[in-house]
């Protein structure tokens, strides 16, 4: 049985942001791409913290995130 983890993405200008759950209770990982090149990644303890970090660091509005499969 495979576990499906939650994943969200947002696009602002030439940057694409993907946030995915590592494992329940472990944390959330952020990947940032610009012009299809990875430019940053980081791990946060929870979804709210990583979304706030992306809003502060990159100006990504909270409403820009959409859940993906």
- The pLDDT value recorded for residue 3 is 64
- pLDDT tens track for 18-33: 999 988 778 999 999 9
Tell me the pTM.
0.87
Residues 45-64 pLDDT 10s? 999 999 999 999 999 999 99
**Domain ranges within the chain, ordered by starting residue:** 7-68
CB contact burial 1-30 (16+ within 10 A = b; e otherwise):
eeeeeeebebeeeebbbbbebeeeeebbbb
Closest-CA residue to 51 (of 14, 23, 21): 21
């Amino acid at each position: 049985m495979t576990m499906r983890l939650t994943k969200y993405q947002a696009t602002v200008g030439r940057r694409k942001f993907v946030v995915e759950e590592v494992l329940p209770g472990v944390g959330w990982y952020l990947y940032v791409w610009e012009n299809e090149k990875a430019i940053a990644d980081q791990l946060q303890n929870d979804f709210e913290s990583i979304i706030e970090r992306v809003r502060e660091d990159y100006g990504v509005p909270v409403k820009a995130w959409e859940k993906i499969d």
